[in-house]
Structure 1
């Protein structure tokens, strides 16, 4: 039996094949907490007017082998508003696996179906890990795009949890940890591990969202709880994941009140260090490293294998896991520009910018050098006469 493709308008309706979706997710080792149906349903509930969700399902031999929840919206590119398609969950899903359990020979048919039924200028998949980014599926999509861009978005530090972590970390981090522990002990704060449940998740989220709101993330409105849309998404998503035992927190509490935290998501022995914040009044405690170590020690006790930074800045990342990393995972943004006129034009604009950008940078670098090497007049110089 050949591949049968169909569309579904929602992940939340009674006729969505939830059991088949879970079976597909479990078959694919690369899946992450951001592929959980609970997370994606929360993302769907937080969609805004103008965002259209369509879920592409692929069945072969009566088995669900493909599920791509895609969101189309109009996005501004300069003066133009062009249609862009992305995977549901952008931009708060730190890493996605493409739930495709089919040979690369099916790639062309899937891409044609997406372009036919969801016309767009750009199909963009963000935070795709390297082991997926290089497979035959995406190479075939690249060949069928007017322009294809594969851009590194971050190199995520990861740490393999071993018995060696029972010993104190070496080098400069050791002294930073010791100082932080002394400050925390002096003020009377205590570290607490909490595995979230449906009964306590709301109170935990109230506590950590209050800390985030008081932090610089709240001030800049870039936190995961910033704004009603994100707050609704996070509360619904974490509640669904907590029901499956996949949400863990290490809290620093003073007089029973949370002043700093790290929030992690679990998947197959890997804990994703998804979110952290601290109250500005307690920034000098240095609680981040202490809570990270607490999370690692918790992993030792529970048999977790990896701790993963989830997502970091591509340049100048300050994540403390860099000090202990034993490996890294590259995550990519994959952009497939269509053969529609708007896709071709947008792709050509990208190519022009990629050609122009290094030349502009080189020129900007050369200008200060030229200025520095030019003759400088003294305050008493006569115009038109150089000073020797």
Structure 2
């Protein structure tokens, strides 16, 4: 069946086909909370200056078979401005499903329609859990681009909830969990499960944002409430999702005050562990592991199937779910460079970088080995001299590790 394309400028308009959109979202494989209209409309209302929204709809008869909400903005590469398209939600990108139920020919037409309506140098889709198989729709887009790239942006730890979780975890995590529970019990703190609704969500967000503000995330300005634009996005998105019953929170309270929390979103039996923070004066409690264990126990009680990290760092991830994971899920970043001058230039730069990068790494490795070879080694010549029992200032200091 032929596809009829339609362009919109807003997902929040009163005449947007919300029912048809949700029907499409439920038809695709593994939809996520970050594909919901609640999340995307909140993202739209917090668009950064200079960004414009363009929503491509694809209809087959009366059925919506495609929805691509794209933001267009100018980005600089090598000091030069280029027009780039991203999926709505960038740069706070988390796992998304590609909302397209089309055949191969229609997928190719979709790319041509985007290029016709939105001339650009680069189209980039982040955090898609779609592996680049030969028959993939996005693989076809790469074949139609001047240059195409797909690479892993992160490997997300996932935990499949099973009856074995009713038993105490084994190994080193058991020791750490027992010690954390003892410390929490000693100070009198209690763990609570919360399922906020539209009335209680905003006061709860206020409480947890205050925790984040004084945590290391607040100090570095990397939290989800770190600025006014992101704060408005989170307030609107989580309030709307709470109205749909999709928000879950586990908190650690001391004298009625939240001192640590984990914030999650529930979609079809899969809990996305989205954000956590704790007050720095209670960092030694080890509350993160206890609250993660509470996610698992809550999942057993309510028959959840999975607990996922919604996103982690590609290198040196410190997400505590790594200790409990039963598998990993790869997120991919797809880049499609157009045949316009800007796309050709960026694509050439990318290919040049791929050519230079391995040689640069070889040079860095050799240089590091040479430096290590010529570094003098200081040893003690007097066996009667013992090191001081008192560490130097800062010797025992270690950075706090957490995840979004």
TM bucket, shorter chain: over 0.9
Q: Which moved more, 1:252-261 or 1:355-364?
A: 355-364
Distance 2:374 2:78 in 1: 38
Query: Where does 1:1-388 land on structure 2 (aligned, <5 Å)?
Result: 1-131=1-131, 135-371=135-371
Deviation at 1:73, TM superposition (A): 0.2
Q: Secondary structure of the residue that 1:89 maps to in structure 2?
A: strand
Q: 2:402 maps to what in 1?
A: none
Q: Secondary structure of the residue that 2:90 maps to in structure 1?
A: coil
User: Tell me, which stretches of 5 or more residues in structure 1 are unaligned?
Assistant: 377-388
Deviation at 1:141, TM superposition (A): 0.1
Structure 1 residues 152, 367: CA separation in 2 closer, same or farther (over 3 Å shift)? Answer: same
Residues 43 and 88 in structure 2, CA contact (< 8 A), matched pair in contact too: yes
Residues 133 and 332 in structure 1, CA contact (< 8 A), matched pair in contact too: no
Distance 1:89 1:288 in 2: 27
Residues 4 and 58 in structure 1, CA contact (< 8 A), matched pair in contact too: yes
Distance 1:318 1:3 in 2: 45
Residues 132 and 139 in structure 2, CA contact (< 8 A), matched pair in contact too: no
Q: Which moved more, 1:359-368 or 1:151-160?
A: 359-368
Distance 2:250 2:268 in 1: 19
Residues 131 and 332 in structure 2, CA contact (< 8 A), matched pair in contact too: no
Give CA deviations for 1:75-118 in whole Å, capped at 9, x if unaligned.
11121011100000112231010100111221221101111111
Deviation at 1:199, TM superposition (A): 1.3
Residues 155 and 330 in structure 1, CA contact (< 8 A), matched pair in contact too: yes
Structure 1 residues 133, 292: CA separation in 2 closer, same or farther (over 3 Å shift)? Answer: farther
Residues 130 and 329 in structure 1, CA contact (< 8 A), matched pair in contact too: no
Distance 2:38 2:144 in 1: 33
Q: Which moved more, 1:144-153 or 1:360-369?
A: 360-369
Distance 2:6 2:279 in 1: 48
Deviation at 1:368, TM superposition (A): 3.4
Q: Secondary structure of the residue that 2:85 maps to in structure 1?
A: strand
Deviation at 1:369, TM superposition (A): 3.0
Deviation at 1:203, TM superposition (A): 0.9
Structure 1 residues 168, 32: CA separation in 2 closer, same or farther (over 3 Å shift)? Answer: same
Distance 1:112 1:236 in 2: 34
Report how many aligned residue pairs link the two structures.
376
User: Tell me, which stretches of 5 or more residues in structure 2 are unaligned?
Assistant: 377-404
- RMSD, matched Cα: 1.5
TM-score (norm. length: structure 2): 0.91
Deviation at 1:48, TM superposition (A): 2.1
Deviation at 1:133, TM superposition (A): 7.1
Distance 1:374 1:298 in 2: 56
Distance 1:349 1:130 in 2: 26
Q: Secondary structure of the residue that 2:317 maps to in structure 1?
A: coil
Deviation at 1:136, TM superposition (A): 2.3
Distance 2:370 2:289 in 1: 45
Distance 2:284 2:125 in 1: 39
Structure 1 residues 170, 74: CA separation in 2 closer, same or farther (over 3 Å shift)? Answer: same
Residues 132 and 150 in structure 2, CA contact (< 8 A), matched pair in contact too: no
Distance 1:134 1:182 in 2: 53
Distance 1:375 1:160 in 2: 48
Distance 1:135 1:322 in 2: 32
After superposing on structure 2, the runs of 4+ consecutive aligned residues of structure 1 that deviate more than 4 Å are 131-135, 371-376
Distance 1:227 1:368 in 2: 39
